[in-house]
Structure 1
Amino acid sequence: MKISNETKVGALTSVAIVTLILGYSFLKGNDVFSNENEFYAQYDRVDGLASSKPVLINGYQIGRVSDLTLLPTGKILVQFKIDSEYSIPKNTIARIESTDLLGGKAVVFELGDSNNFASDGDTLNSHVQTDLMDQVEPVQKKAEQIIARMDSILTSVNNTLNPEFQKNFDRSFASIARTLETLEKTTKTVDGLVIDQSSKISGIMSNFESITANFKNNNSKINSIMNNLDKVSDDVAKANFTQTIAEANKAIVELQTVLNKVNSGNGTLSQLINDEKMYNNLNNAAENLDKLMIDLKSNPKRYVSFSVFGGKKN
């Protein structure tokens, strides 16, 4: 039996229409060849979520977003189609998350711990995670501030590092290099002197060690000598001090005795001090002696005569 061209064209047209319908349904999130359960969730905002976006559990796709409907209250009702082989607890949270920095969205099921499972047509709890760009924005602002500060610092450094400063900086490094070179030469000279005088230094150290050893070996004798010296010094100091105190006490006693005699009227000194008559007689005698000396100077012949030829003295 020969099939006419019209039949072939009609059959191909039917197949094309069916394929177009199925493809359109698939793009809208409807899979006519699989047994799926429908779940719903309401969101205040969906931030770019669209039909056919995946529904994930721990990164594994178990379904897709099949439809979004704007409710009179302003909320968005999202329909999910989930493969019926997966059981979803009733307290599962359907969270909208960003999948990349470009704003791609997906629904991630955070499975609950309930033993009761959601049935076809149930509404799940919902949550919208902060967009990645919203999370990155504060970091971006801080990065921009840091970059601005770094740019300001680099500008200041660039202004500071003018040609004159660079010249001074180069001269400073050259001076430091010369100083280090001089220090190295000095170190070599000192090393040479130490090497040349190493034998003498060794001898000095040996003598010093010998002296130290002698002191160490005769430590007891040195201590004994120092103790004896301390004892002798103490004895001398004590003896001189004792003798001085004794002589001072003796002198005070004798002086006290003399003063007692003077006060009691005994002795010449006491009479000279206390006897007014004796004082007057001594005063008169001194006055007469003074007159006699004056008269002797004025009339010496009255008292003394000389004869050249040995004549008779009157």
Structure 2
Amino acid sequence: MSKELKVGIIAVVIVVGFIWGFNFLKGTNLFDTGTRVFKVEYAKIGGLSKSSPVTINGLKVGKVDKIEFNTTPEKKGYLIVTFHVENDFEFSKNSLVQIYSPNPLSGSSLAIIPDYNGEAAVSGDFLTGEMEESLFTSIGERLDPLQQKIEKVLVSADTLFGGINKILNEKTISEVNRSITDLSATIHQLRSTVSTVNTMIVENKESLKNSIENTKNITENFSKVSDSLASVNFNEIIKNAENAISNFNSVSEKINSGEGTVGKLINDKNMYNNLEAATKELEQLLRDIKLNPKRYIHFSIFGKSPDSYEESPKN
């Protein structure tokens, strides 16, 4: 083999390798004759790009070949995505091709959601496409009502702060500062009082201890007295008291009915009058003895006879 032929063969191999590598980097395998090509139409592709992977149940089965605009007037602005599937996995024309994002940091991919009912899909078919709702789209839809509420709250807060600014003028702020100063002084005095009380407690610790012990002893004595009282037969005492009251009531009834000396004395008017007259006569006798003792008491050494009784004039 001549030298020129070897150079020619090497050049052809290099060109073929370059073409294959270039197409491989674009996602096209020139040596795979079992590849099937499908098309899907979308209103928006959400970050899908050429060479984005195509998966079935999470398994990569192909790549996106190209993305181009639809030239049909009634479909103007729509995008046609062409992709190929290298796997011989069978699915029907009713299958969905969904654009989704595996994670927020990566680009979008195509996922074939297979449907096994109906006619099998063949190379060149148009499949139905849909776009999966992304996390950020879902969050945005949920944040829209929240944003409106926050705006209303901010407006209300602005009105509230406006009213507060009107209230908090220089005079009010000065009074608030003065109140805070007074409160600080009060707290300082309270701390001093607490410190003084603590000092008193420490200094009188023994006295407090003795007082507590005395209180404990008093409590124990009360407990003993309580036990003693508990052992007293109160029923018997009450019964005796009832008997005494009954006897007193009986005596009282007899007195009121005029029985006995006390009853007659209280209820008999004649006896009362006689007693009163006797008392008066006794009083006159005692007065006369006091005024004229010689009439009643006579003492003589030589036996002199006493003077005759002379009745004293009545007052």
Q: Give the deviation of 1:107 after TM superposition.
A: 1.3
Aligned counterparts of 2:148 and 2:103: Cα–Cα separation in 1: 22
Aligned counterpart in structure 1 of residue 84 of structure 2, from 77, 81, 86: 81
Q: In the alignment, which residue of structure 2 is the partner of 1:127?
A: 130
Give yes or no for the alignment of 1:105 onto 2:108: yes
Q: Unpaired runs of 5+ in structure 1?
A: 252-314
Report the identity percentage: 16
Partner residue, 2:242: 234
Instruction: Output one character per residue of 1:92-142: Cα deviation in whole Å (capped at 9) or x when no partner.
Output: 532112456589422123456x59995542555532112444223245554
Flag structure 2 segments of 5+ consecutive residues without an equivalent: 259-315
Residues 143-292 of structure 1 mapped to structure 2, 5 A cutoff:
149=154, 164=174, 169=180, 172-173=183-184, 175-217=186-228, 219-221=230-232, 224=233, 226-238=234-246
Q: CA deviation at 1:210?
A: 3.0
| Residue matched to 2:63 | 64
Q: Distance in 2 between matches of 1:131 and 1:200?
A: 78
- The answer as to whether partners of 1:64 and 1:81 remain within 8 angstroms in 2 is yes
Q: CA deviation at 1:247?
A: 8.3
Inter-CA distance 149–189: structure 2 relative to 1 (3 Å threshold): farther
**Superposition deviation, residue 81 in structure 1:** 1.2
CA RMSD of aligned residues (A): 5.0
Q: Deviations over 1:247-302 (max 9, x none)?
A: 88x79xxxxxxxxxxxxxxxxxxxxxxxxxxxxxxxxxxxxxxxxxxxxxxxxxxx
Matched residues, number: 239
Task: Answer yes or no: is the 8 Å Cα contact 1:94–1:107 preserved in 2.
Answer: yes
Secondary structure of residue in 2 paired with 1:32: coil
**1: distance between equivalents of 2:215 and 2:103?**
82
Give every structure 1 segment of 4 or more consecutive aligned residues whose post-TM-superposition deviation is greater than 6 Å. 157-160, 242-248
Alpha-carbon spacing, 1:218–1:25, altered in 2? closer, same or farther (3 Å): closer
Q: TM-score w.r.t. structure 1 length?
A: 0.53
* Equivalent position of 2:31 in the other structure: 33
TM-score, scaled relative to structure 2: 0.53
Deviation at 1:209, TM superposition (A): 0.5
Give the aligned partner of residue 22 of structure 2: 23
Q: State the one-letter code of the partner of 2:197.
A: T
2:97 to 82, 94, 99: 94
Measured in 1, the distance between the counterparts of 2:211 and 2:67 equals 103
Q: Distance in 2 between matches of 1:33 and 1:173?
A: 88
CA distance in 2 between counterparts of 1:245 and 1:123 reads 129
Moved more, 31-40 or 238-247: 238-247
What letter corresponds to residue 228 of structure 1 in structure 2?
E
